[in-house]
Amino acid sequence: MDFSLTSEQLMLRDSASRYLEESYDFAQYHRSLAAEGHCDASVWQQFAEFGWLGIGVPEALGGLGGDAIDAVIVNEALGAALVVEPYLSGALLPARLLLQLRSADLQREWLEALVAGKQQMALAYAERDGRGDPGYCAVTARPAGDGYTLTGSKQCAFNAPNASHLIVSADRAPPAGQVSLFVVPVNAPGLTLESYPVMGGGVAANVRFDEVRVAPECEIEGGSDALEAGIDFAILADSAAALGAMEAVFRKTLDYVRTRKQFGAPLASYQVLQHRLAEMYLELEQSRSLILLAAMRTAAGTADERKLAVSSAKVYVGDASRLISQQAVQLHGGIGVTEELDVGHYFRRLTAYRLRHGDREFHLTRAMRYEPLN
Amino acid sequence: MDFSLTSEQLMLRDSASRYLEESYDFAQYHRSLAAEGHCDASVWQQFAEFGWLGIGVPEALGGLGGDAIDAVIVNEALGAALVVEPYLSGALLPARLLLQLRSADLQREWLEALVAGKQQMALAYAERDGRGDPGYCAVTARPAGDGYTLTGSKQCAFNAPNASHLIVSADRAPPAGQVSLFVVPVNAPGLTLESYPVMGGGVAANVRFDEVRVAPECEIEGGSDALEAGIDFAILADSAAALGAMEAVFRKTLDYVRTRKQFGAPLASYQVLQHRLAEMYLELEQSRSLILLAAMRTAAGTADERKLAVSSAKVYVGDASRLISQQAVQLHGGIGVTEELDVGHYFRRLTAYRLRHGDREFHLTRAMRYEPLN
Amino acid sequence: MNIDFTPDEEAFRAEVREWMRQNVPRSPEAPNFGIPNDYELNRAWERKLADKGWLAYSWPKAYGGPGWTVTQRYIFDAERALAGGPPISPFGVIMLGPVLMKFGSQAQKDRYLPAIRDAKEAWCQGFSEPQAGSDLAALKTRAERRGDRYVVNGQKIWTTHAHWADFIFCLVRTDADVPKQQGISFLMIDMRSPGIEIRPIRTIDGHHHLNEVFFTDVEVPIENLVGQEGQGWTIAKYLLVNERTGIAGVAESKRQLGMLRKVVAADPARASDPAIARRLAELRVQLLALEYTHLRVLDLAARGSPIGLEPSVLKIKGSELQQAISEAELEIGGLECLPWLTDVSGSIRTFKWAAERYNFLRASSIFGGSNEVQKNIMAKLLLAQH
Amino acid sequence: MNIDFTPDEEAFRAEVREWMRQNVPRSPEAPNFGIPNDYELNRAWERKLADKGWLAYSWPKAYGGPGWTVTQRYIFDAERALAGGPPISPFGVIMLGPVLMKFGSQAQKDRYLPAIRDAKEAWCQGFSEPQAGSDLAALKTRAERRGDRYVVNGQKIWTTHAHWADFIFCLVRTDADVPKQQGISFLMIDMRSPGIEIRPIRTIDGHHHLNEVFFTDVEVPIENLVGQEGQGWTIAKYLLVNERTGIAGVAESKRQLGMLRKVVAADPARASDPAIARRLAELRVQLLALEYTHLRVLDLAARGSPIGLEPSVLKIKGSELQQAISEAELEIGGLECLPWLTDVSGSIRTFKWAAERYNFLRASSIFGGSNEVQKNIMAKLLLAQH
């Protein structure tokens, strides 16, 4: 048992924090939001140069190597800085899924483009009636020639408007219930996007597939297990970003109550607010514990251990992000509900976190499914 | 719309409070707990003399008349004084159920004895696997001669150890699903009680029926509707007693924090405790609103209106009693967890309230079943 | 004790319901509880109400109101919300109206009340300042007497709809040499006066409701003082009690929860989820409790009983419930609530606006006396009881 | 970073598990988390542990402990609880032991540590007083120096198991003329000394764990002073950090929740209730978070990192979880939990004791530094950070 970071991990953490502190202030955040697809090209290029876009990609495939713990480290730093660029949805998650692509040639080509920041992709798995369950899949893949044709609709595919390709889950009916993953270019005939910005930053699209052809070498091996593992990784990294945001907005709240006066005394002198701060800190620390657990289980552990840990973390961080974001705004008072202060932007970021990748109920149920009664 | 009490109701309230304040102190509470069946005969005789045992029984049948609002008034006062005598379970509820007894002669005889305080009865409806749902009934009533024989077990029949007769719900299988109510003497052959004291005061019994004969005139008309109405009435009156207890323990807590000092200042000067008091008061007032609504819907309203209001009140008062009882103990600190102070006794009383007559989930579901989507 | 409405009240309800059915503007689903974003729609709606004589619905007949009982007002407001009618701007009707009736001169009543009632002049409220939020008495905007005018300098903040208003009523400091609550006066100021500047504040729901209002040597005729110099604090407290009683927002919460229940019932995936059913049930119980607490307070008020803790109860529980309902909309909507300030085809209206509403409603526990300040007030009153 | 145990640690776990299987006393299900009610059972259990050398399980080898790593201690405690072994009385092993190791004289170590380790002498803790609860520094019990003795007068309260103890360690006031925290000393007193009187306090769980202890001219040899005169507050703070870290009660919570899950799984009526399933899942998530927070703190402690907020985090979250689990037992048990201090045939053990446990555990957010005081401490530390 060892909760300490390696010296490489410490370096990664410190360099990420230093870069973001120096280069990603509230003005850059606004510039990024104003950029096409909420992604500032120069920032993205910087990520590529740091090698961050290749975390989790083996060095043999041009990546930086590293595991889920490294991903957590970078995402936490990005979350703390309110970064809007689609680091997870556009690069990290697609790259991880591509590691199981059937075609080694395409894999090499695409990973190279992703890691270099020349191309982005996106995962499209959620559906309107699925309510966060990746096992729900009404998009079908019907055999056609040596490949398939995809038909149906996906909802809220994060970063799809910036993507060259979508990674799509589809049911290879008949027989129904066999979910596979396919890589499809966004300009494929029959594929239409309805794009929109999302609350808290970033873009997404609802996607319609109308007999979209997909080649057999564009299938990702592992089917629903690969999808579930990919989404678990996304949840972990997303939760790490939420942890960074919670920590940052908590520190800002601490600073604010120390200086702001009401009734002739600093807010920090009011016991009710003091206890509120203590309660925020409690949830922050407990969130951190579960994220570390989920990271370790993702980096090395059985699938069941990973599922229990990731779903537990998602439930806990969801609750914590609610408390911390709401109380950060409440303790800031009027200024907290304005666009002018960053606190409200952290609030929206943390609110959006709760709406993605399955609701509280889904993950509570899932956590218990993978917890033995011993 | 009128939330005020009539002058008769005001008199009832004031005389109840006055009597209890003068005569039912913490020492009397202990005397009552020490008495057979947790019922002090002289206190019970006093209730009879006030006419309280006849509230809800028409004057023509020897009662005091009055409706659910009068019952609420008396129960609230009894709850505030921590009265342990089985006013509701031993007298008020059985009398209400007997109003629909098939035999007018027995009805007159039994009501007279109940109202005069010479006899007590008890309702036995809960079963081990029913989890508070009165619709669950595995005790059967099989035709035998012109009557029935009852077989099966009831759980936690409040006041059964003091009762001359039990009012028992039983399924007239076949066909199953038709619940009827029967009055059975406790000394009937085949009927056995396992008696015990319950947390918070009062006694109860698990009851075993082994082919217990019951005469046809001892059936209560109305079957499951009568049972459900009876239990709703019990929930209302029980919630009123909880309201009285919450109000009393809240006042005691207010008094305590004004005098007790920590770190050189009265507890009342700490903002966190101040807010805790405000939060207790909020739940107290909202509880009162729903109890008044439920009382009015019980006194005059459709069955659906009554069910919605009673189940809503049960859910709300359950939550409120949890908060108020726990915080009353917490704010009292060490002394709050001792037998020596009455606060801990209110705590147990309010805890026991939450465990009776169906849990939170049951009543939440039930409330929505009777709420139209308009 | 009874909770039923009389036949007359039921007839009144039917009349209001029918009128609302015919007159509530299309596109009734303002994204935010209680705060309309559409100026034209809102003004047209208030003019329609005024034409019917129902805008100043809480006013007595003596001032040109309908002279309704407390119950009638309750019914009116419930039916208005149920039909999706935008809420009536509180600044003139609910806040300033009763203040002028109680503290205003005859000339002030004659000049201002008819224009409020007839939807001819819109008001906004100038209380909060950058350094005087929950601690209102710390306000610094000063009004110096010069002959028959006051000269006002300073700044107000969080001023809802200042950009729509013809007038603002302000708390200003007229005497800096007395304890802070005693030096405050209540002043009405024409928003077209030279020296007034409005700066918009965008809020986290993405809209413009709030403003800063700057006063630089703004001249105000002394006849715009309400009551006496130094009486401002007393007037403000009177006004805030009215504000907080109304702020419970029961009618809006009832409408929002009802719509959410319908949306869920119409969607098989959500209708079969027991966690959603439970959540809706919990909200329904909370709403029922608040509804009857509200009615009990109205009943007390109708009897002229003293009001103490009740406005704080309604403010706290009302804002918590509004927030809880909007949070339920958001979380039940899930991914459908993520598109931001944009239209996505096929989206359900309740979910389309849920994110804006959720963001907007954070303010409900902050403004109008934060819930923390309300609890301070409650504790003070509770601990003062013997 | 890794969360796995080494093969050696797994072997250690197997050894402990097997020993527990063979040695945990029958009737292991003490009604209250953490506090056994059965004196004989408890003493026999501690003697058995002592014979094995495992009673002072957190002690280094130098003092006759097993010299385990932090991880081994964690495994030991987890296995002990999982097997239903009663918790080890904390007063000697967890509280006084480390205090004597750090502040005690060689003579004190030689005299007292072996007797603790070997289960020969039992201790209790004399800190709280009637007017010094959360505000411990207000304590009034005084010890006057007279020659080679202190003469102690005063009163302690909430003294757990004073009626079982051979000795009590007390905070006493040795100097009334200095600021209140400076005049406090740490004194060990023989419970058989003349002038000591014990009055039982029954608690709302219906049992006798607590006592008042009265001191009237009790003579204590000066060699029973630990550290210096006036050093009591420093020693107490050191002790309380140890107490609070252990107070998380993760091992007990894990056992209780596991038993509750099994009881529910075995009962079709409860196993099919989605509300119960959700509640158990929520508790499981809370437990998992606390478990890994606890491990992180142990990891820090093992590295010798400074400990600041962590004991308060563990105390607050630990007591809240214990309370929440006992509340779930109670409410899931429903009517089955109502029989009071009595045996009813056919009752399920978890539910039979749920009411007592629920009542008993109210104390867990009050004693050991109330959760309110813990939050005060946390806020102070948080606000002092730059």
- What SS3 string covers B111-153? HHHHHCCCCCEEEECCCCCCCCCCCCCCCEEEEECCEEEEEEE
**Tokens 């606060």, located at residue:** B343
Q: Give the tokens for residue C372.
A: 């923390």
Contact between A290 and A309 (Cβ < 8 Å): yes
Q: Is B193's Cβ below 8 Å from some Cβ in D?
A: no
**Distances, alpha carbon D346 to alpha carbons B125, B206, D215, in Å:** 19, 11, 47
* Interval D121-157: pLDDT, tens: 999 999 999 988 778 889 999 999 999 999 999 999 9
**Tokens 């009740």, located at residue:** C310
Band of residue D386 on the pLDDT scale cut at 50, 70, 90? low
The answer to whether the Cβ–Cβ distance between A367 and D285 falls below 8 Å is yes
Assign C209 to helix, strand or coil: strand
Distance between C286 CA and the closest CA of chain B, angstroms: 8
Q: Which residue in A198, A272, A347 is closest to C338 by CB distance?
A: A198
* D33 has pLDDT over 60: no
* Candidate CATH numbers 3.90.320.10, 3.40.190.170, 3.40.47.10, 1.10.540.10; the one for domain A7-115: 1.10.540.10
Contact between D187 and D169 (Cβ < 8 Å): yes
Q: Which residue in A196, A273, A354 is closest to C344 by CB distance?
A: A196
D320 given a catalytic annotation:
no
- Name the closest residue on chain D to residue B361, using Cα atoms: D275
The answer to whether the Cβ–Cβ distance between A361 and D278 falls below 8 Å is yes
Name all chains with 3 or more CB-CB pairs below 8 Å to chain D. A, B, C
What's the gap between Cα D377 and its chain centre? 20
| Selected residues 308-337 of chain B with any CB under 8 Å from a CB in chain D | 326, 329-330, 333-334, 336-337
- Under-50 pLDDT residues of chain A: none
Residues on chain C touching D272 (C-beta within 8 angstroms) = none
CB contacts < 8 A, A to B, total: 8
d(CA B202, CA B156): 11
Residues on chain A touching D312 (C-beta within 8 angstroms) = 278
Q: Which residues is C214 bridged to in the sheet?
A: C155, C197
CB atoms within 10 A of CB B215: 16
Contact between A175 and A207 (Cβ < 8 Å): no
**Distances, alpha carbon D373 to alpha carbons A267, A285, D315, in Å:** 19, 19, 11
d(CA B57, CA B113): 12
Q: Give the tokens for residue B349.
A: 């009383």
Provide ipTM, 2 decimals. Answer: 0.95
> Count H helices, E strands: chain D?
14, 8
Q: Provide the residue-wise pLDDT of chain C in tens; the chain has 386 residues.
A: 777 889 999 999 999 999 999 998 876 555 544 555 678 888 899 999 999 999 999 999 999 999 999 889 999 999 999 898 888 999 999 999 999 999 999 999 999 999 999 999 999 999 999 988 778 889 999 999 999 999 999 999 999 999 999 999 999 999 989 888 899 999 999 999 999 999 999 999 999 999 999 999 999 999 999 999 999 999 999 998 776 666 688 999 999 999 999 999 999 999 999 999 999 999 999 999 999 999 999 888 888 887 789 999 999 999 999 999 999 999 999 999 999 999 899 888 889 889 999 999 999 999 888 999 999 999 999 999 75
Q: What is the pLDDT of residue D29?
A: 54
Nearest-5° angle of CA C310, CA C314, CA C319? 155
- Name the closest residue on chain C to residue A364, using Cα atoms: C275
- Name the closest residue on chain A to residue D280, using Cα atoms: A368
DSSP state string for A107-165? HHHHHHHHHTTS--EEEE---TTTTT-TT----EEEEETTEEEEEEEEEEEETGGG-SE
Q: What is the pLDDT of residue D247?
A: 66
Measured torsion, CA atoms of residues D9, D10, D12, D18, in degrees rounded to the nearest 10: 160
Q: What is the pLDDT of residue C87?
A: 87
Q: What is the pLDDT of residue C36?
A: 59
Distance between A341 CA and the closest CA of chain D, angstroms: 21
**Distances, alpha carbon D236 to alpha carbons A227, B368, D172, D368, in Å:** 54, 55, 11, 12
Residues on chain C touching B286 (C-beta within 8 angstroms) = 289-290, 293, 313, 317
Residues on chain B touching A272 (C-beta within 8 angstroms) = 271-272, 275
* D289 has pLDDT over 60: yes
* Interval A268-299: pLDDT, tens: 999 999 999 999 999 999 999 999 999 999 99
Q: In the predicted model, what is the mean pLDDT of residues B141-156?
A: 95
Q: What percent of chain D has pLDDT over 90?
A: 76
Q: Is C2's Cβ below 8 Å from some Cβ in B?
A: yes
Residues on chain B touching C277 (C-beta within 8 angstroms) = 365, 368
**Tokens 């004291």, located at residue:** B197
**Distances, alpha carbon A111 to alpha carbons A96, A106, B299, in Å:** 9, 8, 74
Amino acid at A291: I
The answer to whether the Cβ–Cβ distance between B333 and D359 falls below 8 Å is no
User: Does B121-222 carry CATH code 1.10.1760.20?
Assistant: no
- Domain spans of chain A, in order of start: 7-115, 121-222, 224-370
Distance between A340 CA and the closest CA of chain C, angstroms: 8
Strands (E), chain B: 121-124, 140-144, 147-158, 165-171, 179-185, 191-197, 203-214, 219-220, 261-262, 265-266
- Name the closest residue on chain A to residue D255, using Cα atoms: A374
Q: Which residues is C225 bridged to in the sheet?
A: C187
The answer to whether the Cβ–Cβ distance between D362 and B337 falls below 8 Å is yes
Per the residue annotation, which of D46, D129, D243, D291 is the catalytic one? D243
Q: In the predicted model, what is the mean pLDDT of residues B57-64?
A: 95
DSSP state string for C10-36? HHHHHHHHHHHHHHSPSS---SSTT--
Taking all residues of chain D, what is their mean pLDDT, rounded to a whole number?
Answer: 92
Q: What is the pLDDT of residue B103?
A: 96
Q: Of C24, D335, D181, which is closest to residue B207 (Cα–Cα)? A: D335
Amino acid at B27: A
Per the residue annotation, which of C129, C229, C243, C252 is the catalytic one? C243
**Distances, alpha carbon B170 to alpha carbons B88, B142, C257, in Å:** 22, 9, 40
CA neighbours within 13 Å on the CB side: how many for D228?
Answer: 5
d(CA D171, CA D187): 6
Q: Is C140's Cβ below 8 Å from some Cβ in A?
A: no
> What is chain D's length?
386
Domains of chain D: 7-88 (1.10.540.10), 123-231 (2.40.110.10), 248-384 (1.20.140.10)
Q: Which fold has domain B224-370?
A: Butyryl-CoA Dehydrogenase, subunit A; domain 3 (1.20.140)
Q: Is B282's Cβ below 8 Å from some Cβ in C?
A: yes
- Name the closest residue on chain A to residue C271, using Cα atoms: A129
